[in-house]
Structures are given as C-alpha cells and as structure tokens.
C-alpha cells in the first residue's frame, strides 16, 4: 500500500502583510533630507546618504525587511550594549558598577566628564563608559579580548561578523578624543587596563560590520530574554538581557535619551554610522540604518521611523498592559456544573444540594501581581452549606502560562491559610509544574479534582 499522499502546501504570503507595514513607514521617511554624515571618522563620510533600511525580527525568529536592510555598515556605538552584556556575564552587575555608572549623562556621546570622586564614566552607552566595559571583558590579551567580543556580537546576530579594516584604520588614526578620555580615566583609576591596547580593541569593536537585519536579530535576542530567536542559542541569561535593556532605555540615545523615552518609549541604542536598534520587549527587535545624523549623532530617518513604528505598534513602555482578558476566567461552584457520569441518583441529589461547598477558580495567562490579587479577592468568602463550614476549593491552573515568584508566594500563603480554616485545596495542573506549594491534593485533570472533592463531600455529609 502506498503511503497517504502529503497535502501540497499552498503559499499564502501572509507574512508580507507585516512587510507591507514596514514599507509604509519606509516610504514615509525615505525622502526626508535632513542630517549630516559623521565626518570625525573620515571613512564614515564616504557613506551613501540615501541608504535607508528597516528590519524587524520577531521573538518567534521571523525577519521582515524594507529598503536597504542588507547593506553592511560599521556597528560603532551599537556595539556598546552587547559588549556591556559580555562584561555583565564576566563580572556581574556589582563589579561592573564599581567601574562604570548607570546614569544618563545629559551630554554628547564623546563627553569627557567623569563622576567626581570615583572617576567613573557616567554609563556604558557613551564612549567613556564603553571603553571601560571593553577593558572589563575577560581575556588573556587584547587579540583574545577582541575575538571574544567579535564572537559575542556574532552570537547576538546569529552569524559570524567581519571587521571593516578601512574604518578601523580611519578611527585609529583620528581617535584623539577617545584617547584623551581613556588617559583621563586611566589617571582616575576607572580604566585599569593598558590604554592603547584597550583603545585598539574598542576601535576594532566599533568597526565590526553589520546590517539592519543583523541589528534586528541582535535586539530581538535581548527582547527575547537573551535567547537568539533565529538560532535558538542562549547568548546571555535573562537577567543580563533585562539589565542591558534597562540601561539602553535610560542612556541609549545620549543627550536625547529623555526625549527619546518620552516619544518612543523603547530601549534603544544609536551609532554614528546611522544605525539604530530598539527592542519591543517580549515581541521583537528593530534594526534601522540611514547614515545622515542629527546634531546629537542620532540617525535622522532611523529615529523618525522608529518613533512611527512604536506609535503604530503601540509599543510605548509605559503603555498600560492589556488586561482585557481576565486572569480569572471561571469562578463557579460544583452544584452549577454538569454532573459527573457514574453517580447514583441519590448521590446526584446530595451533590445538587451540597455542591456549593466545592468552589472553582480557574486562572489563565501569567499570574503576576494583578492576577494573584484577583484570585485572592475572589476567595475572600467561600460558600459552605455544611454545619461546620467545611468546604473545598479547586484551583485550576491548566491555562496558567506561568506564575511569577510573588504570585507563587501569595498563592502558597493562600493555600496555607485556607487549609488551616478547613478549606481543602486541590490544584489542577496537567503539566505538573508544582506552581503552588503546600496543597492537599493535586490532579492533572479538572474531572479528577471534581471527583476527589465530591467523594470527600459525599463521605462527610
Ligand atoms: N567609534 C565611535 C567613537 O568612539 C562610536 C561613537 C558612536 O557611534 N556614537 O567615537
């Protein structure tokens, strides 16, 4: 017998609908003329000012692009959050914070001001701070340090990345301001490594070649809790990704950081080559590229397009999270449910009379503070027709996607309190995740929970 024929797959091009939304934004800003090419690194002044690319990488690993999303350019300051991630992995937050702060500087990216007293640079997103973070990456020598950085940037992007030697040579030859900053920090003690060696690595790191598509995947990795959604590799731990995003949100756009957060409401980082990365946390990464810069060194088209995308996609961080779907999707009692099979007529009658002693609360989605609170308040009072007030609660977590630590603590406390008051608690969890501690009985199906409670009720009454 021949195997059943496989149905042929018909392409519908549904993903193009997302590309279409990017094309609309691209078209809207591609004609804008403002801005100047960066010229303090001479090689950057040779860029084509007309280039403009937008890419979105979702946390499910799909990438959508519009315009010049595959044109390579040097990563420049966009390397800073990712090298900061590497330093956090090597040293942990406290050690890193001894050497570099986390305060928005309110100044340009190449500001020379250090923190009075400590000599720390203000944050890892401006040149001074980034030079220190580069020096903190653990390696036996500068060549190995740069290779670790290149590998890390590549892991975020999901492919091996090369260096633009011309841009590197151009910046190394003209980088006097960064040299001045580095020597100042060395004198102040915040930069302890060899100055020229560190600068060489920092300039090379800034000359790594990426595309807007790469930037989108890099940002999506941060937005996805540190796991690259395209390769599936865990590049950094979730807490590292969170911290990097936090510093991007407050310091990523230099002296435009405050207004940027106000308008776009997204963690972001810009660079003098005209790139911009933004993260829609939990949803996607956005990579943009267009060389002309505004007075603060941020890409004119990239900033405008990212703000438009944030507005269209409702991404502002302070946007009230969607609570249209209630966490508590079912709140009932067993006497109101369809009766189980295999009950005798006598049992059925007793369950109709006394079934209100068994309450049901079914929860869906992520149990964080708001959801935990609504569960607690929904059991402020529980019905019991029995003379001694004995009753049962079925807590159905089948549709709970996760329970955060506070939720688990509150629900654990609830179970303890109820059980000390002769309320028997049964948790339903088909995945046996042990989300709530201390419960009297656990089942994997709602029906089993109902049967267990009913059997006890029938035996009592
Ligand atoms: N390599 C550049 C510098 O250090 C990076 C600056 C930037 O992109 N803002 O000056």
Write the DSSP assignment of 385-417 as a string of letters. Answer: -STT--EEEEEEEEEEEEE-HHHHHHHHHHHHH
* Cα 255 to ligand 1 centroid, rounded to whole Å: 14
CA distance 345 to 251: 70
Which residue intervals of the chain bear CATH 3.30.750.24? 322-460
Rounded distance from Cα 274 to ligand 1 centre (Å):
11
Nearest atom of ligand 1 to the alpha carbon of 272? 8
Task: Write out the E strands in 208-295.
Answer: 209-210, 268-270, 275-280, 284-289
Which ligand 1 atom is the nearest neighbour of the CA of 175? 10
**Ligand 1 centre distance from Cα of residue 390 (Å):** 69
Average pLDDT in the 167-182 region? 96
Atom of ligand 1 nearest to the CA of 254: 9
20 CB burial (10 A radius; 0-12, 13-18, 19+): exposed
Region 178-192: mean pLDDT is: 95
CA–centroid distance, 76 to ligand 1, in Å, is 5
Q: Which residues' Cβ are closer than 6 Å to ligand 1?
A: 76-77, 109-110, 127, 171, 178, 206, 271-272, 297
Are 240 and 226 in contact, with CB atoms under 8 Å apart? yes
What pLDDT shows up at residue 217?
98
CA of 27 to the centre of ligand 1 (A): 28
Residue 53: pLDDT band (50, 70, 90) is: very high
Atom 4 (ligand 1): residue with closest C-alpha?
Answer: 127
Share of the chain above pLDDT 70, in %: 98
90-138 pLDDT per residue, tens: 999 999 999 999 999 888 898 888 999 899 999 999 999 999 999 999 9
> DSSP secondary-structure letter at 12?
-
How many whole angstroms from 253 Cα to the centroid of ligand 1? 12
d(CA 295, CA 274): 12
Beta strands in 268-367 (DSSP E): 268-270, 275-280, 284-289, 328-333, 358-367
Q: Closest ligand 1 atom to the C-alpha of 127?
A: 4
Could you tell me where in the chain the CATH 3.40.710.10 domains are found?
32-313
Residue 253 has pLDDT above 80, yes or no: yes
In this structure, what are the phi and psi dihedrals at residue 428, rounded to the nearest 5 degrees? Answer: -105, 120
Instruction: Please give the backbone phi and psi of residue 292, each rounded to the nearest 5 degrees, phi first.
Output: -65, 135
- CATH number at 322-460: 3.30.750.24
| Distance of CA 300 from the midpoint of ligand 1 (Å) | 16
Spatial distance between the Cα atoms of 445 and 423, rounded to a whole number of angstroms: 20
Q: Ligand 1, atom 2: nearest CA belongs to which residue?
A: 76
Residue of 74, 77, 124 to mutate, ligand 1, most atoms within 8 A of C-beta = 77
Give the position, in ligand 1's atom list, of the atom nearest the Cα of 77.
Answer: 8
Strands 284-289 and 391-403: unpaired
Cβ–Cβ under 8 Å, residues 274 and 284:
no
Alpha-carbon gap, residue 95 to 239, rounded angstroms: 15
Instruction: For residue 403, give the nearest of 361, 376, 366, 440 by alpha carbon.
Output: 366
Question: What is the SS3 assignment for 55?
Answer: strand
Helices (H), 296-443: 300-312, 345-354, 369-378, 405-420
Distance from C-alpha of 362 to C-alpha of 327, rounded to nearest angstrom: 8
Q: Cα separation of 378 and 357, whole Å?
A: 15
Dump pLDDT digits (tens) for 313-329.
888 998 877 666 678 98
Kindly report which listed range (43-57, 242-256, 378-392) carries the lowest average pLDDT score.
Answer: 378-392
CA distance linking residue 205 with residue 405, whole number of Å: 38
Domain 32-313 has CATH 3.40.50.620: no
Site to substitute for ligand 1 among 81, 123, 167, 171, most atoms within 8 A of C-beta: 171
Best residue among 36, 37, 40, 41 to mutate for probing ligand 1, ranked by most atoms within 8 Å of CB: 41
The set of residues, in sequence order, having a beta carbon less than 8 Å from that of 362 and lying 6+ positions away, is 328, 329, 330, 331, 396, 398, 399
Q: How many CB atoms lie under 10 A from the CB of residue 381?
A: 8
- What's the pLDDT tens digit per position in 341-382? 989 999 999 999 999 999 999 999 888 888 888 888 899 889
Mutate to test the pocket of ligand 1, among 170, 202, 272 (most ligand atoms within 8 A of CB): 272
Instruction: Using the mean position of ligand 1's atoms as its centre, give its distance from the Cα of residue 181 in Å.
Output: 13
Q: How far is the CA of 200 from the centre of ligand 1 (A)?
A: 13
Q: At what angle do helices 176-188 and 195-206 cross, to 10 degrees?
A: 130
The band of 15, judged by pLDDT with boundaries at 50, 70 and 90, is confident
């Amino acid at each position: 017998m021949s195997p059943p024929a496989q149905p042929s797959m018909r392409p519908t091009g549904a993903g193009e609908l997302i590309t279409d939304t990017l094309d609309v934004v691209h078209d809207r800003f591609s004609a804008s003329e403002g801005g100047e090419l960066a010229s303090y690194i001479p090689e950057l002044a040779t860029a084509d000012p007309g280039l403009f690319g937008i890419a979105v990488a979702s946390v499910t690993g799909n990438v959508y692009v519009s315009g010049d999303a595959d044109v390579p350019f040097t990563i420049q300051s966009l390397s800073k959050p990712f090298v900061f991630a590497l330093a956090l992995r090597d040293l942990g937050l406290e050690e890193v914070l001894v050497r570099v702060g986390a305060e928005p500087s309110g100044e340009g990216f190449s500001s020379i001001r250090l923190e009075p007293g400590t000599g720390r640079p203000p944050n890892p997103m401006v040149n001074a701070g980034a030079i220190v973070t580069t020096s903190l990456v653990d390696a036996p020598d500068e060549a190995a340090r740069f290779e670790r950085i290149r590998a890390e940037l590549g892991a975020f992007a999901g492919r091996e990345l090369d260096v633009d030697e011309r841009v590197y040579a151009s910046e190394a030859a003209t980088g006097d301001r960064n040299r001045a900053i580095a020597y100042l920090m060395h004198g102040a003690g915040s930069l302890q490594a060899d100055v020229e060696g560190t600068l060489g690595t920092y300039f090379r790191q800034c000359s790594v070649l990426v595309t807007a598509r790469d930037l989108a995947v890099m940002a999506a990795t941060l937005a996805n809790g540190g796991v690259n959604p395209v390769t599936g590799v865990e590049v950094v731990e979730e807490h590292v990704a969170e911290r990097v995003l936090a510093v991007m949100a407050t310091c990523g756009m230099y002296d435009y950081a405050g207004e940027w957060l106000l308008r776009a409401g997204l963690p972001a980082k810009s660079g003098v080559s005209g790139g911009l990365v933004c993260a829609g946390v939990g949803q996607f990464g956005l990579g943009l590229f267009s060389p002309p810069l505004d007075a603060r060194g941020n890409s004119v088209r990239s900033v405008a397009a990212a703000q438009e995308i944030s507005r269209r996609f409702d991404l502002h961080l302070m946007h009230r999270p969607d609570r249209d779907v209630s966490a508590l999707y079912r709140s009932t009692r067993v006497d109101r449910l369809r009766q189980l099979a295999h009950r005798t007529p006598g049992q059925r009658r007793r369950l109709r009379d006394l079934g209100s002693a068994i309450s049901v609360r079914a929860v869906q989605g992520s149990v964080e503070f708001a959801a935990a609170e609504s569960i607690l308040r929904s059991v402020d009072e529980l019905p019991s027709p029995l003379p001694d007030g004995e009753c049962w609660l079925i807590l159905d977590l089948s549709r709970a996607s996760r329970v955060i630590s506070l939720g688990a603590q509150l629900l654990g406390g609830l179970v303890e309190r109820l059980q000390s008051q002769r309320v028997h608690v049964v948790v339903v969890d088909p995945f046996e995740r042990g989300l709530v501690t201390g419960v009297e009985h656990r089942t994997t199906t709602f029906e089993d929970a109902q049967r267990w409670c009913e059997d006890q009720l029938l035996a009592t009454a």
